[in-house]
Structure 1
């Protein structure tokens, strides 16, 4: 396994790689426009994982840095999985100074419970108190509408 270097410097991020992964390979952001990815990076704490000069991992935290955080867009490129990079990336995220002492730190996952449970994440203790507005096809619907209207 090559050494993974983790940085929260947004200037180091390969935004093209992040967009390509999210828009084509993720299960949660298919079709997301690059402009949306750029805006989300601008307004979040972002972590890039690098092997040499190549970015191979990413995580983003939406937070007020005082009471609440929401972990999103965590990925390791398929060809680099199984090397412990996700655990290393998450260790850095969880140790980040401005993410300490938060009342609530949330995430949503379909298949990575084993990664997050050792870090203290669990199913909500009172799920009846949580609500959401969820539109899983927002990016593909917007693209389809634009194509239909000839504005893509």
Structure 2
């Protein structure tokens, strides 16, 4: 495999690839409109993974860069899965200087618990303290 490059440069992101993946192939953001995705990117710390200049993976972190972060929209393009790209991407996210010393770093996953557990993520220690407003079909309207 060619050298994998991880970058937080938003100008390098392939926004159309990100939108296509999330809106058509993800399990969590089906139908997300492009302007919503663009706004999410604009207001987040984003990580692109690139092979030979082509984006092959993405992760987005919503954070105050002091106490809290939420990891979202993590994906590797199907063709490139199984080659350790997600692990390198997650390591870059967790090592980013703006994400050090946080009190809470959260994520939601339906099928990658084992992967995230390798990086210290666990079920909430106090699930009764967590609440959410969840609108799973918001993009269908």
TM over 0.5: yes
The residue aligned with 1:37 is 37
Distance 2:83 2:54 in 1: 15
**Root-mean-square deviation over aligned CA pairs:** 0.6
1:99-120 Cα distance to aligned partner (Å, 9 max, x none):
0000000000011112110111
Q: What does 1:15-54 correspond to in 2, within 5 Å?
A: 15-54=15-54
Distance of 1:45 and 1:130 partners within structure 2: 23
Q: State the TM-score, normalizing by the size of structure 2.
A: 0.99
Task: Report the CA distance between 1:87 and its aligned residue.
Answer: 0.2
SS of the residue 1:119 aligns to: coil
Partners in 2 of 1:59 and 1:2 — Cα distance? 20
Distance, in Å, in 1 between the alignment partners of 2:114 and 2:3 is: 23
- Identify unmatched segments of 5+ residues in structure 2: none
Structure 2: distance between partners of 1:43 and 1:13:
14
For the residues of structure 2 that align with 1:135 and 1:62, how far apart are their CA atoms? 18
Could you tell me how far apart the structure 2 residues matched to 1:126 and 1:16 are? 38
The equivalent residue for 1:145 is none
Aligned equivalent of 2:63: 63
**2-structure distance, mates of 1:52, 1:67:** 35
Please report how far the alpha carbon of residue 2 of structure 1 lies from its aligned counterpart in structure 2 after TM superposition: 2.6
How many residues were matched structurally? Answer: 141
Q: What is the TM-score when the length of structure 1 is the normalising length?
A: 0.91
Give the ranges of 4+ consecutive aligned residues of structure 1 lying more than 6 Å apart after TM superposition: none
Pairwise CA distance, 1:20: 0.3
Unaligned 5+ segments in structure 1 are 143-152
